[in-house]
Structure formats: C-alpha cells, structure tokens
Amino acid sequence: MIPFLDLKKVNKKYQSEIEQAVLRVVRSGWYILGEEVKQFENSFAEHCQVKCCIGVGNGLEAIKLILCAYKELGVMSEGDEVIVPANTYIATILAITESGLTPVLVEPDIRTYNLDPKKIEEKITSKTKAILPVHLYGLCCPMDEINKIAQKYNLKVIDDAAQAHGAVYNGFPIGGLCDATAFSFYPTKNLGALGDAGAITTNDKQLAEVIRALANYGTEAKYINKYKGINSRLDEMQAAILAVRLKYLKDDTIYRQELASKYLNEIVNNHIVLPFVRVIEEHTFHMFVIRCQKRNELQKYLLEQGIQTQVHYPIPPHKQEAYKEWSNLSFPITERIHDEVLSLPLNTALNFSEITEIIDCVNKF
C-alpha cells in the first residue's frame, strides 16, 4: 500500500532535531510570546524577503487578522467586498465572512485552478476593497496581472499562501508579492508544525503593528487594549519546531518538484489532464492534482492497486450547507473541477520507485 501521506515518515527526517527543540522549550519555562517565536519570525521574514512576519494561531486566523487590521485602519468596513476564487478551500471564505466582509466568488482558470485575472474586473463594484488570490495546490497565481488590476482600482491584494510555502514567482519568494500574505503551518502543509500554527508576512509596518496587537487581545502595551482583538498566537513550542523545518524547506521543495517532474514527464493517458506548470519554481506541489472525467472510477481502481489518493475538494464552498444562501449560484468551471480532480500521493516520504509504480498504474487505467 502506498499511503496518500504518512506524516510519521515525513517527520522522521527531522525527528531528533525537533525533539531537541521541544526539550529546549520545555526546560525554558517560557511558552508564549518569547524568543523562539521572535527567532522564527525573523527567519521566516528573511526567507520571504519581507520586513515583517507575525506568528499567529493558524492559517484561517492569519487571513482574518489581515482583513480585521485593514478594518481598524479604515481601509475596509463592514459589508465591503473581497474578490476570491470560487474553488478555494473553505477556510479562505470563512476568514472573509468572519471578518464581516462579503466574499465575491470568481471562477478560476480551468488550466491553473487559480483566480482568472480576465474575470476579476467584471466583479469589481464600489464596495470592492481587496482581491484575495489563493495559490491553490502550491501554484503561484499570476500576481503581476492581479497587482496591476488592484492598482488600477486602488484595491488591496492579500494572498492565501497556505499551500505555497517556498514558491518563487519571477525570482521573488512568495510572502512578499503583494500587500500581505497569510500562511498556515498545519501539519500536512509543506512547512508543517506538530499542531496548529500560522503566520502573516508584509512590508507594511503599520499593518503589522495592528495585526500583532489584534492577535493578542488588541493589546498595544501590557494591559492597554486599543482594539477588540482575539487570541491567536504562535506558541514557543511550534515556533521552535518550525525553525527546524524551515531549514529544510528549500531542499524539500526541490525534492517535491523532482517527484512532480517525473509524474509530468511519464504519465501518458488520454483520460487524464496533468497540472499546469509555467516554470517549476512557481509550483511547490503541495498537491499533485490531476483531472479525469472518470475520477471516481480512477480513484477506486488505484485503491485496488494499493494506491491511496484524495479529492481536494469534493464540494465547492457555494454548495456547502454552511453557505446555503449561495446554493442557487452557478459556477460551472468550479463545479467541474470539484467533480474531476484527484490528488496523487506526492510528499517527501515517497521515493522515485514508488512514483514509478503509481505512474505505471495510472497509465494502465
């Protein structure tokens, strides 16, 4: 059996370093907002080539905190609109509605599964305040085009990079490509903690200050509460673990890209559409997502051959019960993607011979 993802095996590579880091924190007597978080924030800011990084509780709150900070700064207010791809993971949409803003769903590009810049302008109204591209499956969105539209209409660009740590777009790392970037370090992500964790990167120091306060009860100085904030802090233990994982991110990303290149070169099957790649550096292959009209049959067949796959994601946000107010909306491209996508195993615990075995099976379907 080739499992979709064996996290124990993934983390084995870093286990002794992680255990040392955890022990160091246990023995330090300091568990929240200390040196470990500060050091990780500095290293991650350097990695992203940005001025500011704020560690937070998780990826959903990272997006939410950026939006709420813009509200505090007077850039956005209750009911304003945020343009977002209709096929994103539910967390992106939840962050917008939880902030009291209105998501405006836009169909993705069927080749890239990312926000289609050609469809953004027609959705802009006087209430639009931001575009929120999601680098889905690890592929960078066309940020030059998106930033250009944002500039024309004076909008903020906030990107959801929960699946794209380590991606490089036109020579620049993700995290500094627009106004603010949200990251998740959920354990299955390319840069994963051993629990919940997230971060925000930005070059806007004023925005960073507001976010930092909002994430800590709205506290500006100890016991001085400037905003109605929340509790969303990266803890010392997760920060220490992430500092270990960050050292290996570049090599891990290259390895994922090598495995993906093998799939891309060797999967030959008329029933299957392979992921779009412009230049390999732009794709971190958080998932290797193929498309097939007979997706359910293919998934069943692969499982019979001992290969576990997953569907990211089976139901689009506008078809979820949580957003039943959208149930009569129609997004044909999004719905087609959700009907046809299948994620093949791709992670740093796999070797080339396992990839060969998967390719052989896929080609025989």
Which residue ranges make up the site for ligand PLP (CB under 6 A)?
58-60, 88-89, 91-92, 134, 160, 162-163, 184, 186, 196, 198
Cis peptide bond upstream of 223, omega within 30: no
Sign of CA dihedral 185, 240, 244, 200: positive
Give min distance, CB of 167 to ligand PLP, in A: 13
Q: Considering the complex, state which of residue 196 and residue 282 has its C-beta at the smaller distance from ligand PLP.
A: 196
- Minimal distance, residue 56 CB to ligand PLP, in Å: 9
Helix/strand/coil for 351: coil
**Which residues have C-beta within 8 Å of that of residue 204, sequence separation ≥ 6?**
52, 179, 180
Angle (deg, nearest 10), helices 35-48 and 236-247: 40
Tokens of 280: 């390999």
How many Å apart are CA 188 and CA 183, to the nearest integer?
A: 13
- 189 assigned to active site: yes
Query: What's the min distance (Å) between Cβ of 62 and ligand PLP?
Result: 7
β-sheet with 288-292: strand ranges across: 272-273, 288-292, 341-344
The phi and psi torsions of 173 (rounded to 5 degrees) equal -70, 150
CB 201 within 8 A of CB 48: yes
The least distance separating ligand PLP from the CB of residue 197, rounded to whole angstroms, comes to: 7
Nearer to ligand PLP, 163 or 257 (CB): 163
Cβ distance to ligand PLP smaller for residue 138 or 142: 138
Identify the active-site residue in 189, 262, 324, 364.
189
- Helices assigned H by DSSP within the chain: 7-12, 15-28, 35-48, 59-72, 90-98, 143-153, 205-214, 236-247, 249-266, 295-304, 332-340, 352-364
Kindly state the greatest CA–CA separation across the chain: 65
Closest residue to ligand PLP, judged by C-beta, is 59
Catalytically active residues, by annotation: 189
